[in-house]
Structure 1
Amino acid sequence: MDDYGLSKGTSEMSTEWFFCVAGFVFSVSVPAETDIERLLPSFLPFRCETDKGGKLLFRWQAVSGPVPGKDEKTALLEESFNDLGHVSLWREKEGYRIDMHYTAQSPQHVMKTSCDFTSAVAYIQWEDPYVSCVCTSLLRIVYSQAVLLQGAVSLHASTVYQEGYAYLFLGKSGTGKSTHSALWMKHFEGTDLLNDDNPTVRVEGGKVVAYGTPWSGKTPCYKNLCFPVGGMVKLVQAPFNRFTPLKEVNAFVALFPGCAVIRQDGRLCDGLYDTLSRIVERVPVGRLECLPEEEAAEVCREGIRNGGK
């Protein structure tokens, strides 16, 4: 047996688990011998007993066996090297294919999904010591695309909550999103971290709500909590601290780069555009040019409290 309860030549009988993230229920099926708590530890706060008879966001199945070959008309859409590893996204006749190597020396894992990401099958190489990270990342990919058709978006942002509201800080990697969250927690009493990398934002009943998720980057913060959004701020490094309110198109443009979407898929993009348009109509959005210091947090909070005016 390996660390995940799987032995070589294990049966393909599977066990189905249900999780609820941002109000969306999805199922994960893994070989019956799999220790789900070791495979997906960050998902435990989001586990639910059944699907409650409702509609599932998606079904995700992990199987053993050889990696499937590519279809004749498979086309490479994009390739990336990031915290997910080395990822290649391919368009196929019946949906999408994702190839993943967590490190340069890791074996190849393959996931095939439907066009709308309501179903996915992952061909997992269980001997990979990073298999937990691989499964977590593959689930993140499916989830981030599936929610786009349900009035929600997965954002690359660090998020804190204070006095019943969530505040999201966006920006390119290395711009200080986590640092800015830490400044709020240090200097503003009652502030805590909701998620440090991939919160979900939904528009519900006219309100914009931020949710914690099982994906939080290098910071282990997996809180099954949600709060109405008090503000969203794009951070830019600068030798001074200045908050600029953003409205309509400018607010949309500031938030868009932080959204997870396959940009070659018109249907998914339309879902994102609709959700983002409703978000910027309802919450203060701004750009903060800043230094990593207390004053930056104070300028940011004051700008948001002024409603982006």
Structure 2
Amino acid sequence: MNIQEHHIDPHTEKQVSYFQIARHILQFVHPPEVDLDRCLPSFSSFVVEPILEPAMLSVELTTRAAPADDPDTKLLSDISVIWEERFRFEETSDHYVTTILAGVDERPWKMISTKDFKHSVIYAQADELYTTFKAAWLLMIAFGQAGLQHQTILLHASVVERNGVGYAFLGKSGTGKSTHSRLWVKHIEGTQLMNDDNPVVRVYDNAEVFIYGTPWSGKTPCYKPIEAKLGAVVRLEQAPYNKLQWQKAKEALIALLPSGSAIRWNPELFDSMLKTLEVIIQGVPIGYLRCLPDRDAAALCFAKILEYKAASASS
């Protein structure tokens, strides 16, 4: 569906578009002249028609000037893995402020969000809408935080899908998450890449855990609006051998926690993430794989997961 097909609100002269991610609705408000197919190309498969279900979050994009900085603003962080020193995350009494500072031939972008991230406004630079991924990145920040109170976690991981089951691989940057996914796709029949950087894990009220493709997939274009039951989560570490160990309780939480999306300065959101991770740990096998970037590592990982499932089914 072409993103531009969505309606214009007659009361505000703003266009309203809707995206469905992990079965949540993201309402996106923007000037009618903005070409979202060019501004947010990775979102085209996630477009849905307006529905009665309330949106989990609403984000407005505007090209008007951002309001003046609050003199009482508190700096929480000034470095990002993506933007390095060109990033500021700040707090006021009522809002969080996310700023991507200007680079060469650029001007700052700013997003002002309520403390629960249910409502955000992105103050964008009109001449950069189609040449950067800043709008998509800020939407990811808002979605990742807003979802935490809905048992939904944006996970830094590479994930593959096979026969309706998803397998997520975690690890520090450069560990080999993408390489391990590619080894699964190449050597384990029926496997496809689902997302290569930021899938979403959602826990439902019956404690079932599903993983979803998203519009955010890092350097690998893989924007699939598909879902799969989460079959296992495996943290990778480079080693001169291949060995997988299953993690329980505290060790499992330690394996998952660094890849979660919660900002540590908001106790409510962080606590929501911890509670969701605890449910995931209870129902999904969590592994630690020390491995080489080779076929045997993928084969071992897959075999151990099958063994775990067989043992669980027979117990």
Q: What is the TM-score with the length of structure 1 in the denominator?
A: 0.92
Query: Between Structure 1 and Structure 2, how many residues are aligned?
Result: 298
| CA deviation map 1:219-247 (0-9, x unaligned) | 11000100001100000011111101101
* Identical amino acids, percent of aligned pairs: 37
Per-residue deviation, 1:102:
6.9
1:278 aligns with 2:273: no
Contact 2:39–2:130 under 8 Å retained in 1? no
Per-residue deviation, 1:131:
5.2
Structure 1: gaps spanning 5 or more residues: 5-11
Per-residue deviation, 1:104:
5.0
Per-residue deviation, 1:164:
1.8
Q: Distance in 1 between matches of 2:45 and 2:102?
A: 25
Per-residue deviation, 1:79:
1.9
In the other structure, the counterpart of 1:163 is 163
1:287 aligns with 2:288: yes
1:257 aligns with 2:258: yes
Q: Distance in 2 between matches of 1:102 and 1:245?
A: 45
In the other structure, the counterpart of 2:213 is 212
Structure 1 segments, 4+ long, off by >6 Å, are none
Matched to 2:286, the amino acid is V
In the other structure, the counterpart of 1:64 is 63
Q: Distance in 1 between matches of 2:15 and 2:132?
A: 17
Contact 2:98–2:112 under 8 Å retained in 1? yes
Q: Distance in 1 between matches of 2:253 and 2:104?
A: 36
Q: Distance in 2 between matches of 1:199 and 1:87?
A: 23
Q: Distance in 2 between matches of 1:132 and 1:49?
A: 26
DSSP 3-state at the match of 2:166: strand
Matched to 1:294, the amino acid is R
| CA deviation map 1:131-161 (0-9, x unaligned) | 5401000100000000001011000000001
1:74 aligns with 2:73: yes
Q: Distance in 2 between matches of 1:111 and 1:229?
A: 32
Q: What is the TM-score with the length of structure 2 in the denominator?
A: 0.91
Q: Distance in 2 between matches of 1:209 and 1:233?
A: 15
Moved more, 62-71 or 211-220: 62-71
Moved more, 86-95 or 174-183: 86-95
Q: Distance in 1 between matches of 2:289 and 2:213?
A: 23
Q: Distance in 2 between matches of 1:111 and 1:65?
A: 12
Q: Distance in 1 between matches of 2:17 and 2:46?
A: 11
Contact 2:253–2:278 under 8 Å retained in 1? yes
Matched to 2:265, the amino acid is Q
The aligned runs of 1:17-28 (5 Å cut-off) are: 17-28=17-28
Q: Distance in 2 between matches of 1:102 and 1:152?
A: 32
In the other structure, the counterpart of 1:53 is 52
Matched to 1:263, the amino acid is R
The aligned runs of 1:78-97 (5 Å cut-off) are: 78-83=77-82, 86-97=86-97
Contact 1:84–1:137 under 8 Å retained in 2? no
Per-residue deviation, 1:32:
1.0
Q: Distance in 2 between matches of 1:28 and 1:139?
A: 9
Moved more, 190-199 or 12-21: 12-21
| CA deviation map 1:51-105 (0-9, x unaligned) | x111211111111222322212210111223335632110111110011137454
Contact 1:195–1:212 under 8 Å retained in 2? yes
In the other structure, the counterpart of 2:7 is none
RMSD (Å), alpha carbons: 1.7
Matched to 2:223, the amino acid is Y
Matched to 1:73, the amino acid is D
Pair 84,137 (structure 1): closer, same or farther in 2 beyond 3 Å: farther
